[in-house]
Every structure is written in C-alpha cells, then in structure tokens.
Amino acid sequence: MAAGHGSKPSLENGIEVTTEENMSQQADSSRAGSLDSVEQLDSHNAMERGLSNRHVQFIAIGGTIGTGLFLGSGKSIALTGPSIVLVYILVGLIMFILMRAIGELMYQDPSQHTFINFISKYVGKAWGHYAQWSYWIVLVLVGMTELTAVSRYFVEFFKTYGLDLSPWKWLIEIAFLAVLVMINLIAVKAFGEAEFWFAMIKITLIIGMIATAIVMVIMHYHYSAVTVQTTGSVIRTRAGTASLSNIFNGFTLAPNGWYNFAIAFPMVFFAYELIEFVGVTVSETKNPRPVLKKATNQIIYRILIFYVGALLAIMAIVPWRNFVPDKSGEFVSPFIMVFKYAGIDWASALVFFVVITAASSSLNSLLFSAGRHLYQVAVESPQTSPLRFFSLDQVSSHRVPARAIVFSGIFILLSPLVSVFPAITQAFTWFSSASSAVTIFIYILTMVAHWKYRQSADFSADGFLMPAYKVLDSLAIGFFVLIYLSLFLAPDTLWAAVGGIVWFLVFGTWCHFHMKKVTR
C-alpha cells in the first residue's frame, strides 16, 4: 500500500489543488502526509474502474437493506415493542462509526480491493491473514444461506399462485447462482447495473409502504381482520385502526423485560451485518474519493429512512402486540400485513417478489466481495501456494478476478448438496451461526487498524477524517465487545458465541505460527 509523503496535491470536491498554504501546512506536520493521487496508487491495480457514482450510491443503499427488514422485523418488534426503533438507531450509529473508519482508510488508498488489507498493514500480517481468510469463509457461508433463502422465497412466491415448485429447489439454486456468477464475470459495470435495479426495487417497496401508512394514519383508516398465509400455517390477524397512538400509548422502554431488550441488540446488529460492502467497491469506482465520501456520509440518513421510517410506519398501522408467531415460531412479514390491511390482496406475492430481489442482491454482492477477497489472498500468497497454482491471483480480459469468483461460487454451490444430508445440514447451520460471531472480531480488528493508522506516519491530514477518533474508535470497540457478550444470553446464539471464540483462538494461533514460519 502506498503511503502519502511530501507535497502532493490535496483533493477537494474531486479536483486536485496545490497551494502554498497547503504545502506549508504539510511541511509543518511531521506525522501527517498528503494524499497520493489515485493514478499513482493505481499502478498495481489490475481492476477496471467501471462503477459510477450512481452505482455506488445504490450499492450502499442495497447493502443497508437486507431481507431481514422485510421478513424479520416482525420478530424484533414483538421482542421489545416500539423501543426497537431506539435499538436500530443506537446500533446504526455504531455501524456508521465503523463505516467512517473504513471510509477514512479507503480514502487514503482507494486502490485497495478490501478494507481488510489495512488490518495486515497496521495491526500485523498474522491478524491480516486471519481476517482475510475468516472474512472469505464468512462470505461463502452467508452466500450458501442466501442461496437457500432465494430458492425458498421463489417457492413461496409461486405458491401464492397455486404452483408448488418445492421439488425443484435445487435446480432454482443452481440457476440463480449461475446467472449471478455470469453477471459478475461480464464486467464490474454489469454488476453495478444489477445492484442498481435490485436496490431500486427494494427502495420502491419501502417508500410505497411508508406512503401507504401515512395515508392510512391521516385517514384514521379502520381495517378488518385478515388471514395471512405463512410457511408453516395460517394466521388470523386482528382488526384495528391506523393511528400514531398504536406506537405511543403505554410506551415503556422494556415492555417485555430487560432481558428481551438486551437480546434485541445482537438481532438488530446482524440485520446491519455486511453494511461495509461499499468499502470493497472502491478500487473499481470512478473518482473513488468523492464518491466514497458521499456514500459513507449518507449511510446514516438511509438508516433513519429505511429502517426507522419503515418500523414507525409498520407500528402505526399494526399495534406491536399483534405480532405473534405461528405454531412453528415464524412471524408474518409486517409488510404483508400493512398491504393486506390496505386492501391489496396480492400483498404476499408483491413482498415475496421484492424479498427474492433482496436475497439475490445480497448473494450478488457476496459473490463480488468473496471473489475480491480470495483474489487478494492469492496475490499475497507465495508462488508455491495452491491459490497461485489455480491462478486465483489473475484477472480476466474483462478485468475482473474471474477465477476467484468462480472458485467462490463453487463453494457456495455446496448449499443444495448440504440440504440433502441432515447431519451435514445441522453442522452447516452451526458454522453459519458462528460465522456471524466471527464478523464481530473482524470489525474490532478494523477499528484497531484505524486507530493505528491515525497514529502512523501514513496518516493524511487532508483525508476523509473521522472526528474524535480516539473516543469513537474506543466506543465502537466497546460496543462490539458488548454485542459479542450478549450472544451468550440467548440459547439460539450461545453456541455461535462459543464457536466464534474457538475459531478466533485456534485459527488465530495458527495464523501467527504460520506467518512466523513464512517470514523466516
């Protein structure tokens, strides 16, 4: 990674400017270098800068909105009532701090294919090796989960029309993955276009639901009870009236007890997981510094609009105590309930169509990110490494890491095979849960890398600076530690927490011994 030193041009609004005042300030600072130009840093960047500002802004939006908002928000609302909005805001602010840290690092060197490279440079090569491999494995496991989810939602979508495609789930998974791999192989611009339209569909549904809720509240709309089909059974919902009083009447911070309030935090945290994806697109973005700055700064507004706005709209229509699970423990999608109450009978088909696009978007991004991370690991591997043997350190004529993408896709394709064997399925579920816990360690290492960067000779005073970094870095690290400890509180996350620690100790120790052996 190139470090900025000497009198280089500073970047303002995407235009390079050099003034005597800037040069004087840089000369007076013994620790703060200036930013190297993107052209200088790109001397070793084999990727194409094919993503436009439009692509990146919508990729950032898509990364903020996952399937959990459409399907899982009913469970989080039932857990602790209207105060779940406060949980989303608090966790969202911490994730914004994480993104500002990643943003500053990537702004300093936008030729890097992943923010994890900064862990290698500022925390240590062993920790970087741990983070790179762990993150790739997390991406593959989450990708397998998303592939399974896509086929499940696809089946549910056609079930609303009376068609049963469940015997063909495996074929649906293979077809979806093949299409997304091809999109990733064509060119980075094709990936950007796909993500743009995926995000547009999600945004349209959320804004449509919020607008519908506002109209129903203004009209003081009274709705009748409706029947909603879930995967496991049928739920008969109650009649009611749209009103803000549904949110504020009898409001308490922990209506179901402080235990439920506490375990809501890890649930919401995992809804935000992989929000950092926009940091993986920087090395393939046109005018990366101004685009990255805009995308990062707008994350907080997206959280307020798409999460907080949607949750308030839902609870204004549906009293939060009306969210109850069916016999199998599954909750109805709040989006389906709101549209059903508004008289839209095809609400289930609409929501499941959007959920398919959300899961496809997530899987598409996971393929993109997994390919880049595996490519980065291969580039840093010795010539005798199997990764070099399979040429995973090469880019195609379309300037994408095609072999690394295909290799990652092959591992994700194990998902249909895993579902065939119950014993393997159980082990896969455990590993997938543990992978979410491992992500917390990677976030902590990222914040440590940011802290060390600010104290290093590479620090650029004219960069995208996070204010009060000592306070905010410490706050974020402390919060991530608390989130991890909260995993021990609930039975369904206890073993994930244990698995994450085992992986951290075992693989982390191996990485340290391995790197010592390699550097001898």
Mean per-residue pLDDT over the chain, rounded: 86
pLDDT of res. 229: 67
Query: CB within 8 A of 475, min separation 6: which ones?
Result: 94, 97
433-447 mean pLDDT? 91
Residue 31, domain member (yes or no): no
**Closest of 348, 429, 433, 439 to residue 70, by C-alpha:** 348
Residue 179, domain member (yes or no): yes
pLDDT of res. 428: 59
- Confidence band of 262 (pLDDT split at 50, 70, 90): very high
Taking residue 506's Cβ as centre, other Cβ atoms within 10 Å add up to 10
Alpha helices (H) along 272-392 = 288-297, 299-302, 310-317, 334-341, 347-379, 386-389
Residue 255, domain member (yes or no): yes
**Beta partners for 227?**
236
pLDDT of res. 232: 59
Task: Give me 462's structure tokens.
Answer: 């004219």
Element at 37 (helix H, strand E): none
Query: CB within 8 A of 353, min separation 6: which ones?
Result: 157
119-136 mean pLDDT? 95
Give the burial class of 229: count Cβ atoms within 10 A of its Cβ; 0-12 exposed, 13-18 middle, 19 or more buried: middle
Region of poorest pLDDT, from 12-21, 34-43, 446-455: 12-21
pLDDT over 50 (residue 19): no
Residue 477, domain member (yes or no): yes
Residue 2, domain member (yes or no): no
Percent of the chain with pLDDT over 90: 53
Residue 18, domain member (yes or no): no
pLDDT over 80 (residue 434): no
C-alpha 474 chain-centroid distance? 22
pLDDT of res. 30: 39
What DSSP character marks residue 167? G
**Beta partners for 229?**
234
pLDDT of res. 472: 97
Do residues 98 and 443 make contact, with C-beta atoms less than 8 angstroms apart?
yes
264-278 mean pLDDT? 89
Query: CB within 8 A of 371, min separation 6: which ones?
Result: 184, 400, 401, 404, 405, 408
Task: Give me 270's structure tokens.
Answer: 């995992």
308-337 mean pLDDT? 87
Alpha helices (H) along 49-109 = 53-64, 67, 73-80, 84-108
The sign of the torsion formed by the CA atoms of 114, 118, 123, 124 equals positive
**Beta partners for 15?**
12
pLDDT of res. 323: 86
- Confidence band of 135 (pLDDT split at 50, 70, 90): very high
Task: Give me 101's structure tokens.
Answer: 């840290």
R_g over Cα of the chain: 23
CB environment 317-354: b (16+ within 10 A), e (fewer): bbbbebbebbeeebbbbbbbbbbbbbebeebbbbbbbb
389-417 mean pLDDT? 91
Task: Give the C-alpha separation, 196 to 191, whole Å.
Answer: 9
Domain with 168 in it: 48-519
What DSSP character marks residue 5? -
Backbone angles phi, psi at 391, to 5 degrees: 60, 40
Domain containing 452 — which CATH number? 1.20.1740.10
47-74 mean pLDDT? 85
3-state secondary structure string across 461-476: CCCCCCCCHHHHHHHH
162-to-155, 165, 461, 488 alpha-carbon distances in Å: 10, 10, 61, 42
- Confidence band of 423 (pLDDT split at 50, 70, 90): low
Please measure the distance between the N-terminal and C-terminal CA atoms of the chain and give it in whole angstroms.
Answer: 22
pTM of the model: 0.88
pLDDT over 80 (residue 419): no
Calculate helix-pair angle for 422-454, 84-108, nearest 10 degrees: 60
pLDDT over 60 (residue 366): yes
pLDDT over 90 (residue 395): yes
Total structural domains within the chain? 1
Region of poorest pLDDT, from 144-158, 242-256, 454-468: 144-158
Task: Give me 360's structure tokens.
Answer: 């496809």
Residue 16, domain member (yes or no): no
pLDDT of res. 162: 83
Q: How many residues does the chain have?
A: 520
C-alpha 174 chain-centroid distance? 23
Residue 347, domain member (yes or no): yes
Task: Give the C-alpha separation, 111 to 332, whole Å.
Answer: 44
pLDDT over 90 (residue 331): no
